[in-house]
Amino acid sequence: MSELSKVISKTRAATSQHLKVLRGVEAVTAERRGQFVVYSLSEHINAEVLENVANAFDQLRPTA
């Protein structure tokens, strides 16, 4: 997750929460490989859907 966090310029905690949501709606799959987890897009997700999800995450505001 550290590498992904760097790529998307989010904290590890934020990345973890985003991935949790994406797993919850079956947009990504997760496979543990030793100490790492490899995430893959689900087959039914296309680029437009992914872009919409990314835009929605960018609009989220932290709650106090």
Q: Cα–Cα distance between 26 and 11 in angstroms, integer?
A: 22
Q: Which residue, chain included where needed, has tokens 């835009």?
A: 55
Q: Which DSSP string corresponds to 1-59?
A: -HHHHHHHT--HHHHHHHHHHHHHTTSEEEEEETTEEEEEE-TT--HHHHHHHHHHHHH
pTM of the model: 0.63
Tokens at 59, concatenated: 């609009």
Task: Look at residue 31 in the predicted model and tell me its pLDDT.
Answer: 94
Per-residue pLDDT of 1-35, as tens digits, reads: 678 888 888 888 988 888 898 899 888 899 999 99
* Cβ atoms of 28 and 13 closer than 8 Å: no
